[in-house]
Amino acid sequence: MTASCFILYTLKADMCCAASENNWKQWIISLIIALYVVSIMVAAILFIWQSEEDQVGIYTKAWTLASIFVVTAVVISLRRILQHAMHYTQPELQQAIIRILWMVPIYSVNSWLALIKPSAAIYLNTFRDGYEAYIIYNFMIFLNNYLTSQYRDVTAVLESKEQQKHIPPLCCFPPWEMGKVLLFGCKLGVLQYIPVRIVTTVVAVICKSLHVYHEGTFNLKDSCIYLVIISSSSQGVAMYCLTLFYVTFKKEFKPVNAIGKLLSMKLFILVSFL
């Protein structure tokens, strides 16, 4: 499902790019990708229909469908990464973009391997969870680098704006002072997720070896529920600070469609979590 969301988002990005540049080569590439995605979808539907008639086991069906979507997502994402590498004209922005795009191959392959060997899922997820925090951090870097590339003094731009209040559900709290205080608060809120996520995943591995961690078990005597609460709270703080940072500079971020990128990243992480 995560791979499907990425495929559709990438297809839309390719179409928009082709329309803006009015380049026939881009149209051909977009058309090929569209036909490829449609053929994959049709193949998946036909496989499900045929497997029901042949009474294929649920594991075989899951593994086959997963393999189809993983290969599709990895191929399309690698194409996007190579495009940025071949047209490396804005390194301060493209470094963060490439790191974020690697999320798709890493998440897809990780989930596929966990499906093959469920007992290794906890260890595979350790790296994935660490990269999840790295993704959010890099998105913050992308937004910050864009601002610094457009404005000499971001703090001065921020101080010239009206006071930004906290957004729901924290709108009742006193707002952060415009300027360095707000910038520091947003960056710190995003950065804190990296050590917290790494620590919780390492603790999860240790608890797993001690047989006191059972993923998906909401038992007060099990460590899973407490680690989930801690990591989810930390992620919520990071995403809130990232959203507050975007809302504060919403006008400045319009040229790079930051809202679309932010929402797609949130959706990707949410679907992966589910």
12 or 259, higher pLDDT: 259
Mean pLDDT of the chain: 78
Terminal-to-terminal C-alpha distance of the chain:
10
pLDDT digits (tens, 9 = 90+) for 154-178: 888 888 888 889 888 888 889 999 9
pLDDT digits (tens, 9 = 90+) for 55-64: 556 667 677 7
CA distances from 170 to 176, 180, 197, 236 (A): 12, 20, 23, 12
25 pLDDT higher than 70: no
| Domain span at 68 | 1-87
Whether residues 157 and 34 fall in one domain: no
Counted domains in the chain: 2
Whether residue 91 is preceded by a cis peptide bond, meaning omega within 30 degrees of 0, is: no
Of all residues in the chain, the percent with pLDDT exceeding 70 is 76
Tokens 């399309």 map to which residue? Answer: 76
Whether residues 143 and 14 fall in one domain: no
Extract the tokens encoding 14: 């390719």
The identity of residue 13, as a single letter, is A
Q: Report the distance separating Cα 274 and Cα 252, nearest Å.
A: 33
76 falls in which pLDDT band (50, 70, 90)? confident
- Beta carbons within 10 angstroms of residue 233's beta carbon: 12
CB 125 within 8 A of CB 201: yes
Whether residues 65 and 100 fall in one domain: no
pLDDT digits (tens, 9 = 90+) for 111-130: 888 888 887 777 777 777 77
Q: Report the distance separating Cα 189 and Cα 185, nearest Å.
A: 6
**What is the pLDDT, as a whole number, of residue 21?**
47
CB 214 within 8 A of CB 224: yes
Whether residues 126 and 219 fall in one domain: yes
22 pLDDT higher than 60: no
Whether residues 209 and 224 fall in one domain: yes
Q: Report the distance separating Cα 183 and Cα 164, nearest Å.
A: 12
Give 110: exposed, middle or buried? Use CB within 10 Å, 0-12, 13-18, 19+: buried
Tell me 144's DSSP state.
Answer: H
188 falls in which pLDDT band (50, 70, 90)? very high
Whether residues 107 and 1 fall in one domain: no
**What is the pLDDT, as a whole number, of residue 184?**
92
